[in-house]
Structure 1
């Protein structure tokens, strides 16, 4: 079975001497899949009503494990934000009821940001939609093929870090 990348490679092999058709096919398919996954993520975000930055904050809290909380400085560091930028992002999440901010032991300088049950439910709805799209993409591969692909992709990723 042929795909659009096969047509792309056939065209360029005729036009460019020395083009490695296998390399072009691999890179072309990786780029196509990257665009597909980015589109799936945008669609899942749109369906859940989340903006990407909101998802990232919820993700960082969920990733912390129960009780799903971090300090603002930890969140800012993990998200690559200044404390001021983080504060501006936390406010709408708090207003939506997805997070709470509370002082630790009554000390207003020691704040904890915590994912609420509503925030956890929102995160789970979004990740469920995203996981379904990913499963749909990988559905044509057996478990062994998925493991082989994961290993090959790891090899490529390690070359870039």
Structure 2
């Protein structure tokens, strides 16, 4: 069987902490490593594309709205979890780069629409395709069946976490052996 840095980490801490659940520790440590890896890959890809994360989030949010890929500034701010002022400050540089346009609705100059331009659409597509390549490469270590199983197991964890993020996970039935009982 392969060994990774987590196996060495768990070996050290199970010697030092007799109460530590080594399986739990291995799972959580590996999830943390994969999360950091995915985040760093995303940052590296954004750097290569000349985009900042916040710019990409605006493009992605507009893309999610579906054709014609536009929104009011207030809707966009809500979707991004920003104040109207913070959104306004972010839209300027993106508009200057030609990735979005802001237009006034006919008949009411107070109503503005933010729309993804062809260049913004292309920038989003190019970045999303690069992220897809990196994710496919990472998951290439697994078979299709293993990927489906992993996706199902992770869904179970996400559902539990999203149900009540502050609550401890429910205990599963069955005997639990203490580390001292195993010696």
Partner of 1:99: 100
Superposition map of 1:16-95 within 5 A: 16-95=17-96
Counterparts of 1:60 and 1:67, CA distance in 2? 12
Long gaps (5+) in structure 1? none
> Cα RMSD between the aligned structures?
0.8
Task: Output the CA distance in 2 between the equivalents of 1:14 and 1:85.
Answer: 50
Query: CA separation in 2, counterparts of 1:98 and 1:54?
Result: 9
CA distance in 1, matches of 2:14, 2:81: 43
Whole-angstrom CA distance in 2 between matches of 1:25 and 1:148: 18
1:92 alignment partner, SS class = helix
Larger Rg: 2
1:38 alignment partner, SS class: helix
Please report how far the alpha carbon of residue 81 of structure 1 lies from its aligned counterpart in structure 2 after TM superposition.
Answer: 1.0
| Aligned-pair CA distance for 1:106 | 3.3
The separation in 2 between residues aligned to 1:107 and 1:93, in whole angstroms, is 24
Q: Distance in 2 between matches of 1:151 and 1:25?
A: 19
The Cα of 1:75 is off from its aligned counterpart by: 0.3
Displacement after TM superposition at 1:132 (Å): 1.0
> TM-score scaled by structure 1?
0.97
Q: Could you list the runs of 5+ residues in structure 2 that have no partner in the other structure?
A: 163-183
SS for the counterpart of 1:84 is helix
Question: 1:141 is paired with a residue of what secondary structure?
Answer: coil
Runs of 4+ aligned structure 1 residues displaced above 6 Å come to none
TM-score, normalised on structure 2?
Answer: 0.86
Task: Name the CA distance, whole Å, in 2 between partners of 1:106 and 1:131.
Answer: 42
Distance in 2, matches of 1:106 and 1:118, equals: 28
Aligned length: 161
